[in-house]
Amino acid sequence: MSVRFRLGGRRAGEVVRAVTDVRLRLFPGQVLALVGESGCGKSVLASCLLGLLPDNAQVRGEARVGGREGEVELLSASERVLSRHVRGRRIGLVPQSASTHLTPVRTARSQLVETVRHLRGRGRDGEVDELARRVGLAPQDLDHYPHELSGGMAQRVAVASALVGDPPVVVADEPTTGLDRPLVERTVDLLAELADRDRGVLLITHDLGAARRVATHVAVMYASRLVETGPAAEVFERPWHPYTVGLLNALPEAGFEPIPGRPPALTELDVLERKWGCVFCQRCPDVPGVSPCDGNPELVTHGDRAVAAHPPC
Ligand X SMILES: Nc1ncnc2c1ncn2[C@@H]1O[C@H](COP(=O)(O)OP(=O)(O)OP(=O)(O)O)[C@@H](O)[C@H]1O
Task: List, in sequence order, the alpha helices (H) in the chain.
Answer: 42-49, 79-81, 108-120, 127-134, 151-163, 181-196, 208-214, 232-237, 242-249, 269-276
The least CB distance from residue 257 to ligand X, in Å, is 20
Distance set, CA 206 to CA 36, 72, 172 (Å): 7, 29, 12
The strand pairing partners of 170, in sequence order, are 92, 201
Stretch that binds Ni ion, among 39-47, 65-73, 209-217, 298-306 (CB under 5 A): 39-47
Stretch that binds ligand X, among 37-45, 113-121, 246-254, 271-279 (CB under 6 A): 37-45
Task: Pick from 41, 152, 264, 297 the residue near ligand X by CB under 6 A.
Answer: 41
Angle at 128 between CA 124 and CA 134, to 5 degrees: 120
Nearest to 90 by CA among 192, 199, 193, 187: 199
Stretch that binds ligand X, among 34-42, 99-107, 180-188, 193-201 (CB under 6 A): 34-42
The strand pairing partners of 32, in sequence order, are 202, 217
Which CB, 9 or 54, lies closer to ligand X? 54
- For residues 269 and 279, the answer to whether their CB atoms sit within 8 Å is yes
Stretch that binds ligand X, among 41-49, 61-69, 226-234, 271-279 (CB under 6 A): 41-49
d(CA 204, CA 177): 11
**Residue 96 found at the interface with ligand X (CB under 6 A):** yes
The least CB distance from residue 101 to ligand X, in Å, is 14
Instruction: Give SS3 for 94.
Output: strand
Among Ni ion, ligand X, none, partner that 312 touches (CB below 5 to 8 angstroms by kind): none
The interface mask with Ni ion, positions 95-134, x = CB under 5 A, is -x--------------------------------------
Task: Pick from 40, 72, 191, 293 the residue near ligand X by CB under 6 A.
Answer: 40
Using CB under 5 A, list all residues that contact Ni ion. Answer: 42-43, 96
